[in-house]
Amino acid sequence: MKISSLRTLFHLHLSSLYEKREVDAIFFTYIEAKYNLKKYQFLLHTNDEIEFEQTDIEALAQGLPIQYLIKKTKFFDLSLCINSSVLIPRPETEELVALVLNEQGKVSKKKVLDIGTGSGAIAIALAKNMKNAEVWVTDISENALETAQHNAILNHVKINFLLHDILSDSISSLPVDVNIMVSNPPYIPISEQTALHKNVINYEPHSALFVPDTNPLIFYNAIAETAKKILRKGGTLYFETHEKFHSEISEMLNKLNFKNIMHGNDINGNPRFISCKKL
């Protein structure tokens, strides 16, 4: 099959799931991973003959995210291995990392704790870009921690890993005198499942996505309560948030006596980030 014909095949099979621009993005991600052919090289190789596995397009047509098919993704200019035990990192989370680095990245020897690390994306990006940072991560999933450990080795950073449930486990195993706590916890109410794309619902881990409708701030509350105890004076807590609950999270932090509560929008103009200080 010619590489140009493969592009046509992608559009034929995936147009019912994605817009044209998204299909092309999936196609170019695929050919780079499978044939080491970057997007800018495509026009020079349209008539090249390739071997193609039909099962790949069948899986993608069922909604399997391209990142799970090729088992990797890019995040903050880093290469990460991805599997079904962890969420696929989103561009908004890259913005969260950029926010932390913009405010904290010039100071060395920070102690950082990432709650619910998943693939390790946030922690690895921070460790890679903060001088002499001591980085800790937690997750409830052993498989997720194994993935994060692999990604840390892949990107040549040292990170401390803890199997920990922020909702129920003792905080005694967590580091103390932390300068920075950061988290992108589960925050989508279960009732919003039907509004999500099938490639999210059918393939990404629900435990990393959804919270009860009756208590959507469950993780934010637990993390903030923990931050009160292990953040050092002047330490900063950073959250990625659901735009619907932005104000409620802010009110909760205010009641817990956090100060300098700051709000940030993502690139699409939606309320997405909150930071605050323990004074």
Judgement on whether residues 171 and 260 belong to the same structural domain of the protein: yes
Of residues 45 and 167, more confidence is placed in 167
Which residues, including other chains, have CB under 8 Å from residue 70's CB and lie 6 or more apart?
Answer: 29, 30, 33, 34
Judgement on whether residues 122 and 211 belong to the same structural domain of the protein: yes
Q: pLDDT category, 150, cuts 50, 70, 90? A: very high
142, 163 in Cβ contact below 8 A?
Answer: yes
Judgement on whether residues 82 and 57 belong to the same structural domain of the protein: no
Judgement on whether residues 117 and 52 belong to the same structural domain of the protein: no
Predicted pLDDT at 43: 82
Distance CA 171, CA 245 (A): 26
Identify whether 33 is part of a domain.
yes
Judgement on whether residues 15 and 86 belong to the same structural domain of the protein: no
Distance CA 34, CA 124 (A): 25
| pLDDT tens track for 96-149 | 999 999 999 777 889 999 999 999 999 999 999 998 999 999 999 999 999 999
Q: Exposed, middle or buried by CB within 10 Å (0-12, 13-18, 19+), for 86?
A: buried
| pLDDT tens track for 228-241 | 999 999 999 999 99
Judgement on whether residues 103 and 214 belong to the same structural domain of the protein: yes
Helix (H, G, I), strand (E, B) or coil at 30: helix
249, 276 in Cβ contact below 8 A?
Answer: no
Helices (H), the chain: 3-14, 20-35, 54-61, 66-70, 91-104, 121-129, 142-154, 198-201, 218-230, 246-255
Structural domains counted in the chain: 2
Q: pLDDT category, 45, cuts 50, 70, 90? A: confident
153, 81 in Cβ contact below 8 A?
Answer: no
> pTM here?
0.94
Residue in the block written with tokens 């980085």? 135
Which of 178-211 are b and which e, b meaning 16 or more Cβ less than 10 Å from the residue's Cβ? bbbbbbbbbbbbeeeeeeeeebbeebbbeebbbb
Q: pLDDT category, 198, cuts 50, 70, 90? A: confident
Q: pLDDT category, 1, cuts 50, 70, 90? A: confident
Judgement on whether residues 107 and 239 belong to the same structural domain of the protein: yes
Residue range(s) defining the domain that contains residue 128: 75-277
Judgement on whether residues 44 and 144 belong to the same structural domain of the protein: no
Q: What average pLDDT does the segment 174-187 reach?
A: 97
Judgement on whether residues 18 and 144 belong to the same structural domain of the protein: no
